[in-house]
Amino acid sequence: MFNADALEKDWQTLGSVSINQLEDTRNQLHHALQIPAAVVRSFVPAKEDDSHSNFGWHHKLNALISHELEEPKKHRVALDFSFTLLILDDKDHIQSRYSLNGKPLNEAIEWQLSQIDAWNFGRNELSMDRPYEIPDHPTGKGQSFKFNESTATEMAKYYANADLALKAACTSFPNMSSVRCWPHHFDLGCLYTLDQKENPEGSKSISIGFSPGDGSYNEPYFYVNPWPYPDPKKTTFPKLPSGAHWHKEGWVGAVLTASQIIKESTTKAQVAHVVDYLNHAMEETESLLT
Q: Is it the case that residue 198 has pLDDT exceeding 60? A: no
CB contact at 8 A, 97 and 84: yes
User: With left for phi above 0 and alpha for psi between -120 and 50, is residue 28 left, alpha or beta?
Assistant: alpha
What are the strands, taking DSSP E only, across the chain? 56-58, 63-65, 76-80, 84-88, 94-99, 180-182, 187-193, 205-211, 221-227, 245-247, 253-257
The pLDDT assigned to 152 comes to 99
CB contact at 8 A, 38 and 167: no
pLDDT tens-digit map of 209-253 = 999 999 999 999 999 999 999 999 999 999 999 899 999 999 999
The pLDDT assigned to 200 comes to 61
Q: Is the pTM of this model over 0.85?
A: yes
Q: Is it the case that residue 135 has pLDDT exceeding 60? A: yes
Q: Is it the case that residue 24 has pLDDT exceeding 60? A: yes
Alpha helices in 134-266 (DSSP H): 149-170, 258-261
User: Measured at the alpha carbon of residue 257, what is the angle toward residues 252 and 263, in degrees to the nearest 5?
Assistant: 150
Q: Is it the case that residue 184 has pLDDT exceeding 80? A: yes
User: With left for phi above 0 and alpha for psi between -120 and 50, is residue 192 left, alpha or beta?
Assistant: beta
**CA 269 to mean position of chain CA atoms:** 23
How far is Cα 147 from Cα 84, in angstroms, rounded to an integer?
10
Position with higher pLDDT, 97 vs 127 = 97
pLDDT tens-digit map of 59-92 = 999 999 999 987 667 889 999 999 999 999 989 9
The pLDDT assigned to 51 comes to 82
Question: What mean pLDDT, rounded, does the chain reach?
Answer: 93
CATH number of 5-16+149-289: 3.30.1460
Mean pLDDT of 17-29: 98
Return the percentage of the chain with pLDDT > 90, whole number.
Answer: 76
